[in-house]
Structure 1
């Protein structure tokens, strides 16, 4: 009985997270460039969507797929990345852009990886060694994009904030 509800919540919040992620990152970049010290409303919604998708993933594993138990700590780490981004942006410690960008970007990579793996490996046509491609490609591509974004963010920051890098 709980499985259909968990699955609906998981799919809906996963879609919300995938849609909100890039919008939140763009909004925050603009806010930081104008000397704002906190993340925006879209980031708050992105954090909420990520929390719900991670909790529902854990529930789905417990309910139906105990063989995927290792996804529960992955879910916790994914949400931890979102919180790293929030805390880094608000506290502005030395190197805060690393924490913010890698936290926000890393959590988004996890969402993209989950979508691709479910579509191509779990419920899809890929089998054998080629299954590693959907697991690794989002990280390989996303890591480069994260670093490009971080450098652009630093360049866009007001001088006082940029010196705290």
Structure 2
């Protein structure tokens, strides 16, 4: 007796890649719309990527433009969002933040079944969260991220945004 293949099993690698690419673009567009409604009116999806040719390169500067001094990287939720993957995503986000001249890099994970980006997960380091909280508490003193606190912190995006506003990023609605 032969097992019947489902339509998912018959998809080619190219079809799977296109589907993943489409979901990523849709997540980036949804996040940029949400950011425009929540304090960053110029937020828009970035359509450039980093590249390297021989000795020339252009580093990736994140997925969303129009949010001064902030760098956003959007990831669609996947079963493999393990501890190790989170660390790799945060490291890549930090590289993008440096390339774009941003103060902070924020990785946003689109959660399966959640259409409201405010309910998606925002990942930053504990050191960056500390610096944001200190800057929000005393805006006249620039707090510096603590390198010893280079561990991932996960919170809802809607809970991070008021802290970003209090620290001087974007404008509260």
Q: Same fold (TM over 0.5)?
A: no
TM-score of the superposed pair, with normalisation by structure 1: 0.28
TM-score of the superposed pair, with normalisation by structure 2: 0.27
Q: Which has the larger radius of gyration?
A: 2
Larger RCO (CA under 8 A, 6+ residues apart): 1
Task: From the two aligned structures, give the one with the greater strand fraction.
Answer: 2
